[in-house]
Amino acid sequence: MLYKAMYCGLCKGIACSCGHKARIGLSYDVAFLSALLHNIAGADIRVEKQHCFEHCFVKQPMAVADDLTKELGALNVVLTYFKLTDDIADGDKGRGKRLWFKKGFKRAKKKYPELVRIVGEHMKTQAHTEKQKVSSPEIAADPTADMMKELSVYFLKEKATEYTNGLFYALGKWIYLIDALDDYEKDKKKKAYNPFLLTYGSESKEKLLQEHGKDISFLFDTAFYDMRENLAKIPFSFNRDLTDNIILRGIPMETMRVFKGEKRNKMKKRIK
């Protein structure tokens, strides 16, 4: 219930910081970051029953969009805008989609220039790494992992520690690796960069996991270990059941879903 309220609160936060159109890029990953960062930072979460464009008739419990939520809403828009820009550079059709976020991105850049700088620089490094055709999945994931670590310092400020750095670095590595595994067959068909494809070259994701599943599982198990070890050393301001449940159980379950051939759930289905 709390996660759903924070998910709706992030949607409201996007509207406050970047406008209503940008809400179509609402991401489950950033909603989870909102829950995690609020807890570590000790920022109170106030839940109220409210209406929104999706719940016009019956009010739903929603987290009130505080300053942290609004800034995370801007992060959601910035990440979406840069991702679509990267897709366009790779030859995908994304110009029409990106137009939906252009105004919101400009608003984010004006309000939160340092946030846009962090994401922009690390995504530029990520693009450069991929252009170098780095075959190691672990090395390929470093720019995204570094971005998540720097973003955690940006949001947590004096609450940032070596353990929060380690947790967010591991989360960033997992995000990159699970997306690369999820996109394996799509990237193979398009002849696009994918570190798993370069390293192993299997004809399908099913074959990849049959032939090299142990090696790939080891990469993910290492990320899970780093998450667990750092998470255990971080003091939480509120009940940690929600964030523990997502990190210790939800992320491994999502990984297993992708290993079984199911697609990742990154955005609300209605906006795909």
pLDDT value for 268 = 42
pLDDT digits (tens, 9 = 90+) for 141-186: 999 999 999 999 999 999 999 999 999 999 999 999 999 999 999 9
The single-letter code of the amino acid at 51 is H
CA dist 87 and 65 (Å) reads 30
270 has pLDDT over 60: no
CA dist 130 and 256 (Å) reads 26
pLDDT value for 77 = 97
pLDDT value for 37 = 95
Band of pLDDT at residue 257, cut at 50, 70 and 90: very high
Average pLDDT over residues 182-195: 93
pLDDT digits (tens, 9 = 90+) for 210-254: 999 999 999 999 999 999 999 999 998 877 888 899 899 999 999
Task: Tell me the pTM.
Answer: 0.91
Q: What is the DSSP letter of 63?
A: E
| Pair of tokens at residue 40 | 């570590």
Q: Which residues contact 131 (CB under 8 A, 6 or more apart)?
A: 193
CB 220 within 8 A of CB 157: no
Q: Where are the beta strands (DSSP E) in the chain?
A: 47-50, 60-63
Tell me the average pLDDT of the chain: 90
CA dist 145 and 176 (Å) reads 8
CA dist 14 and 181 (Å) reads 29
pLDDT value for 58 = 72
190 has pLDDT over 70: yes
